[in-house]
Amino acid sequence: MKRKRWGSLGILAAALLTAAISGHAQTGPAQTGRDQSSSPAPLRQGFETAWARQPEQRAAGLRRDAAAAGLRAAERWTPETAALDLSTRSDRWHRNDGAREYEAALSVPLWSPGERAKSQAAAQSQAQAVDALLGAAQWRLADEVREAYWTRQRARIEHEIAQQKLASAQGIARDVQRRVTAGDLARADAHQADSAVAVAQSAVAEAAVAEAQSAQAWAMLTGQDLREGPQEPLPAPMPLTAHPALRELQARVDLARRQQDLAGVQTRANPELSLGTTRERDARGERSAQSINVGLRIPLGRLSASDARLANASADLLEAQSQLDLETQRIDARIALARTRVELLTQARDSAQRRAALAGESRGFFDKAFRLGESDLPTRLRIDLEAFEAERQAARSRLEVGAAISQLRQALGLLPE
């Protein structure tokens, strides 16, 4: 029997990558792409478990308690606690005529004009800043969780594709070996098929390492394994003022402004009101006289640290306002880019799906033609390779659309669902 040889190594490699396409038409990369879409339940659950492990979440209760304590302090009638002064006077160390004097006084600090209202406003801003700080921390963590999620998904689909390539290579190698045994192909063709199997096995090993690394990163971040789920919903337009990062910066601006106002009235020490009583006698045997004392202490001049405190508060306000303006522009541009990316990737996904459908139909036509002897083997292998690449691209396109929607939700400041 006359031996038939394949004309090129490229055709054989194409065959090794495309065998078993028909058997995987419903369970291959196209189905894998549907399985790899983003899932609200796993993503949301992963975020919640990751947030429970964060230092910000653990300290949130104490920060709220501190803010509430500051607000209670600003609502008191005095800026500081009252002080009790006790004193006595006697002549027993020099004349010992029996002169005695006892004095007790209560000193109460008073708020400076406008200080109490401005302290309350600053304390209220501080309490609001705590919630804004936690919201921004959640948003930043959501970015890490989403990145780990999609890295894990990409690694898994690449591993599955590599496994399918290996199965194809092994199937072609078995077919080539049978034809070599039958005398239709040369031994060199079998060696080339075995070499392609080894290459596919190496690719599977590399993909498995990448998948294991992504799985470990996800587990370290969330403390759980990743499971499948549907895609995150496409978000509706929302105002920038609701963005967690901007709310945090706006809270910083408000707090800096309130602290600047407070520093503007805290230029002098607080006045003090004193109320006391004095009991005294001039000599032994005389009756003791008692009197009531009322006093008011008014500091004069400015505090030495008031100018520095006011300057620091003004600098904090300017810095916070500048950061808010820059971050608003950056987030606005990020949202616009994310929306454009979703639109373009959606178009690419639709095109890839149409290409995969057409390639599948063409593969069926050429398979039938090959069986009838109306098409040669190189053409059949080329059509199979094109169909496999089209299905793989369609699967990846579906995955990238899900990732782009997730990035758009992140840009809008939305937490995982």
Secondary-structure class of domain 9-78+113-268+306-411 per CATH: mainly alpha
Question: How far apart are alpha carbons 186 and 4 in whole angstroms?
Answer: 8
Sheet strands (E) in 245-368: 272-281, 289-297
Contact 386, 18 (CB under 8 A): no
Contact 102, 375 (CB under 8 A): no
> Distance of CA 298 to CAs 83, 112, 119, 200, Å?
16, 10, 20, 88
Burial 1-28, CB ≥16 within 10 A → b, else e = eeeeebeeeebbbbbbbbbbbeebbeeb
**C-alpha angle with apex 38: 397 to 158, nearest 5 degrees?**
50
Domain range annotation of the chain: 9-78+113-268+306-411
Contact 367, 20 (CB under 8 A): no
Question: How far apart are alpha carbons 178 and 239 in whole angstroms?
Answer: 66
Question: How far apart are alpha carbons 362 and 139 in whole angstroms?
Answer: 47
Q: What percent of the chain is helix, strand and coil (3-state, nearest 5)? A: 70, 10, 25
DSSP 97: S
Residue with tokens 């005398």: 183
How confident is the model at residue 128, as a pLDDT? Answer: 86
What are 77-96's pLDDT values in tens digits?
888 888 888 888 776 777 77
How confident is the model at residue 364, as a pLDDT? Answer: 78
Token pair recorded at residue 400: 């990238």
Question: How far apart are alpha carbons 78 and 272 in whole angstroms?
Answer: 10
Between 139 and 63, name the one with better pLDDT.
Answer: 139
Question: How far apart are alpha carbons 11 and 18 in whole angstroms?
Answer: 11
DSSP string, 104-115: EEEEEE-PPTTH
Question: How far apart are alpha carbons 145 and 141 in whole angstroms?
Answer: 6
* pLDDT bracket for residue 321 (50, 70, 90): very high
Between 333 and 263, name the one with better pLDDT.
Answer: 333
Count Cα neighbours of 59 within 13 Å in the Cβ-side half-sphere. 10
Question: How far apart are alpha carbons 406 and 38 in whole angstroms?
Answer: 8
Question: How far apart are alpha carbons 381 and 387 in whole angstroms?
Answer: 10
Q: Is residue 52 classed exposed, middle or buried when 0-12, 13-18 and 19+ CB atoms within 10 A define those classes?
A: exposed
Token pair recorded at residue 269: 């020490």
H or E segment and range at residue 90:
strand 83-90
Question: How far apart are alpha carbons 184 and 3 in whole angstroms?
Answer: 5
What are 146-197's pLDDT values in tens digits?
999 998 888 888 888 788 778 877 877 777 687 778 777 677 777 877 887 8
What are 2-25's pLDDT values in tens digits?
444 433 434 433 444 444 333 343
What are 326-356's pLDDT values in tens digits?
999 999 999 999 999 999 999 999 999 898 8
pLDDT above 70 as % of the chain: 83
What are 345-398's pLDDT values in tens digits?
999 999 998 988 898 888 778 767 755 656 655 566 667 668 778 877 888 888
Token pair recorded at residue 128: 């609001």
Question: How far apart are alpha carbons 85 and 100 in whole angstroms?
Answer: 17
